Amino acid sequence: MFTRPSLAIEDFNYHLPDERIAYTPAPLRSDSKLLVWDKAIIAETTYSHISDCITTSATLFFNNSKVIAARILFDKNLISNEEEETKNSKIEIFCLEPTEKYTPVILAMQATQKVEWICLVGGAKKWKTTYLEKIIKHNNKNIIVRAKKTNQADGKFLVEFNWDDATISFSELLTLIGNIPLPPYINRQTTEDDKDRYQTTYAVEEGSVAAPTAGLHFNEKVFEKLATKNINTEFVTLHVGAGTFMPVKVDTIDQHVMHAEFIEVPISTLDYLIKNTKDNNIKNPVIAVGTTSLRTLESMYWLGVKLISQKKEQANISSSELNLAQWDAIDLAHLNITKQAALSALKDWLTEHKLEKLIAKTQLMITPGYTFRICNALVTNFHQPKSTLLLIIAAIVGEQWKSIYEHALAHKYRFLSYGDGCLFWIKQ
């Protein structure tokens, strides 16, 4: 067991004035400002010109996960014990992730008639009946949707949803009854504009309950400029969980429990990365668009290292057991496995199990002192104080994160999900 970082989370605090938070998106996606850092701030531009800041032959990796309408409101008629009168009340069910029986996420989204999710419930004390029920009309037919609490632990609920129309998948049902879950600090109702703008233009894999926000700034014109300059684009999937917004409530980061999230990567993308490595070097720059893409790419290296480690111990990992724990990167770092060896081991394991896609869970936590294995740069937004996302920035730029954020605040950059962003080059 190797030493876990005992950094004080208070050292990653800063004052974020309310007027610097972006509560609505920029008029045009690519209008958002972009700060470029390479050992120092070297440029300030907009996302419409990001291709000018990236060398030809580099590859941008995007997270193509799609935000689902995870917030479901049920009406509940309650009788007040004090007033002896019927009152109408709302109970909100927030779908976090499907149960193991319905994973990977695609199984839950394709489920018909019944599915189980781990959920947060707003107004849980008001839920006194076995079922919550609502009736919706679809194709001139009434559909009855029911929700049933089956278990509870650590403030979360196991909820079974069922509906009486076998022709409708859970994915389709959510579009009919659910709402897009904006970040909790955006305390307003979702608008029609949010349904489009709180979703990347390339989102295809349903499963996130929060947007991979760095990608919100990329539109068709930006992709056209990247292609014109022969800058490559690849796609990976990390289904963003609600834990991305959870504040760190402990004094030191080693006490924090990092949330786990599903990643999905086609074997063709793994092939691409292997061809782009030689021994322990990356040939052409790998740029992660968003901390989710970065965690996915770095997790692939460590999953390969984990397979090599287990093989040495003559232990076999099944397709349901290949997951990355929070501190695996620290515990396995002493092995000094090359990038090519780790990625090749992961590909060989997929081939051995006749899998065309890597599906795993990652809890990888990146803190100052972490050595990046796959990524050469990160495109990302400005993050909340005392967040695990800010720790990733500090892992890249060190103490300079403070002066960078001070500069951004002074020059009226917009912060958080709908805000402006940065391109950070990682010191190699």
pLDDT in tens, 167-220: 999 999 999 999 999 998 998 888 889 999 999 999 999 999 999 999 999 999
Using the predicted structure, report yes or no on whether residue 320 has a pLDDT greater than 80. Answer: no
pTM of the model: 0.92
pLDDT tens digits, residue range 92-118?
999 999 998 998 899 999 999 999 999
d(CA 240, CA 96): 9
pLDDT value of position 80: 41
Peptide bond into 104 cis (omega under 30): yes
Superfamily of chain region 9-67+201-425: QueA-like (3.40.1780.10)
Arithmetic mean of pLDDT, 32-52: 98
Residue 153 burial by Cβ neighbours in a 10 Å radius (0-12, 13-18, 19+): exposed
Residue ranges of the chain assigned to CATH 3.40.1780.10? 9-67+201-425
DSSP string, 86-127: EEEEEEEEEEEEE-GGG-SHHHHHH-BSEEEEEEEEETGGG-
Nearest residue to 376 via CA among 298, 278, 265, 307:
298
Q: What is the DSSP string of 121-136?
A: EETGGG--SSEEEEEE
